[in-house]
Amino acid sequence: MDKHTDKRTDKRTDKDTDVIIVGAGVGGLVLALSLHQAGIACRVYESVREIKPLGVGINLLPHAARELDELGLLPALDRVGVRTKESIFFTRHGQFIYSEPAGQAAGYAWPQYSIHRGDLQMTLLAAVRERLGEDSVCVDHRAVRVEQDESEDASGNAGVTVHMTDSAGVERPPVRGAIVVGCDGIHSALRKQLYPDEGAPRYSGVNMWRGVTRCKPFLSGGSMVRAGWLSIGKMVIYPIRDNIDADGNQLVNWVAEIESPEPAVRDWTRQGRLEDFFPAFADWHFDWLDVAALIRNADAVLEYPMVDQDPLPTWTRGRMTLLGDAAHPMVPRGSNGAGQAIIDARYLAGQLKRLGLGPAALQEYDRARVAATTKVVLTNRSNPPDAILREAYERSHDRPFDRIEDIISRDELQGISDRYKQVAGFDPAMLAARPSFL
């Protein structure tokens, strides 16, 4: 612990904490681990009564894996996730468009992971409780309002008071801290306090159906597949757990996406119906995978609209700021939602370590991360890696072709992929050269 952290901590009472983290999702838990690594006291407050491994698959690209490596978490991730070997694109007819290696196979110093979101969250939660203590995460605490001190008191303290209720709406004792970070997702109460007139998330015109299915490994056994296109049906498919039974099966995550004028209900736990989307994929029987059977054999199907929010000019007011989906919800077209939340957390912890627990650190975090994530949010709308599918679809007019090179060159396809890596911060040379945030 550095001398500046000691000084700050000594000013606070036993009932106070330095940093109040609202939300125990991926971003909030990585922030807690990062602050602990920096010697800064914190506590996490989560609205649900019990944290359960919810969700489906997500990807952690090398820039996110780097941050988790600095926290010593890669061995734990290897126990629950799959190291992605390649990213590969096909038409809805099963014709090959483009592929490139992923993670360490692409020359990165860090892997890329395909993992169940619940497995990632439980891994992070276990690490937080082990390193920070069992009482470091308080459940059934829903933040409803933040008050900030107008000035420092006689002892030099200034801070925030977070008002909370339990899940039944009963008021809990307020919590005091030096700063508060809203990691409370797309329905963030802190974001609502900063921008009360913002309105509902922006519908992209695409609905998604997500599922997980137990099946034999396909292609490399670590392939992330994108196929088809939104107007006629698009699939994203990748394994998220290895060797789940004695037969060597994998748990495979899939996402079906179709353009639709009406958005689905915004509820991550809403059950989907096969009849609403399966007809678009009923004839997808590829040499390497029977996609139709993959969908039919799913353990369960969830439905959700593809939404984001217009980028905000700032996430910060005084001693309060936002992080992750609370700050920059984005459409999931670049495997970057969780990754950008992880980078937010690491960068913020680094600034708090360097500049202290006050507005200056939050402003520096805001300056850097608002600009960076705005580019990602807007690029995910227009030219994510999935644009490779769009180009092949439009140039082939959705008809089978003899050679993809007759439609579009590999250099042009690689250019789409490389430009996204630069925007999102995981260009190989840039990532290798960047100093650690902490």
Residue 260 counted as domain residue: no
Residue 331 counted as domain residue: yes
Q: Which amino acid is at 294?
A: L
What is the domain-level CATH number for residue 11?
Answer: 3.50.50.60
**pLDDT by position in tens, the chain (length 438):** 333 333 333 333 434 689 999 999 999 999 999 999 999 999 999 999 999 998 889 999 999 999 999 999 999 999 999 999 999 999 999 999 999 999 999 999 999 999 999 999 999 999 999 999 999 999 999 999 999 998 765 455 789 999 999 999 999 999 999 999 999 998 999 999 999 999 889 999 999 999 999 999 999 999 999 999 999 999 999 999 999 999 999 999 999 999 999 999 888 788 999 999 999 999 999 999 999 999 999 988 999 999 999 999 999 999 999 999 999 999 999 889 999 999 999 999 999 999 999 999 999 999 999 999 999 999 999 999 999 999 999 999 999 999 999 999 999 999 999 999 999 999 999 999 999 999
pLDDT of residue 16: 60
Residue 368 counted as domain residue: yes
Residue 46 counted as domain residue: yes
Q: Which domain holds residue 45?
A: 3-83+116-199+315-383
Q: Give the chain's radius of gyration (CA, Å).
A: 22
Residue 206 counted as domain residue: no
Residue 353 counted as domain residue: yes
Q: How many domains does the chain have?
A: 1
pLDDT of residue 57: 94
Q: Contact 394/231 with Cβ under 8 angstroms?
A: no
Q: Contact 163/145 with Cβ under 8 angstroms?
A: yes
Q: Under the phi-then-psi rule, with left for phi > 0, alpha for psi from -120 to 50, and beta for the rest, what region is 94?
A: left
pLDDT of residue 158: 87
pTM tops 0.75, yes or no: yes
Residue 226 counted as domain residue: no
User: What is the Cα–Cα distance from 240 to 275, expressed in whole angstroms?
Assistant: 26
Residue 99: phi and psi, rounded to 5, are -145, 155
Q: How many CB atoms lie within 10 A of CB 165?
A: 16
Q: Which residues are within 8 A (CB) of 227 and not within 5 positions of it... i.e. 6 or more apart?
A: 89, 90, 91, 92, 94, 234, 235, 237, 284, 291, 389
Strand order through the sheet with 96-101: 96-101, 86-90, 223-229, 233-241, 250-259, 202-215, 301-308
Identify the DSSP state of 8: H
User: What is the Cα–Cα distance from 214 to 37, expressed in whole angstroms?
Assistant: 38
Residue 68 counted as domain residue: yes
> What does 190-220 look like in DSSP terms, one character per residue?
HHHHH-TT--SPEEEEEEEEEEEEEE---TT
* Pairing relationship of beta strands 82-83 and 86-90 according to DSSP bridges: unpaired
pLDDT of residue 17: 81
Residue 180: phi and psi, rounded to 5, are -130, 140
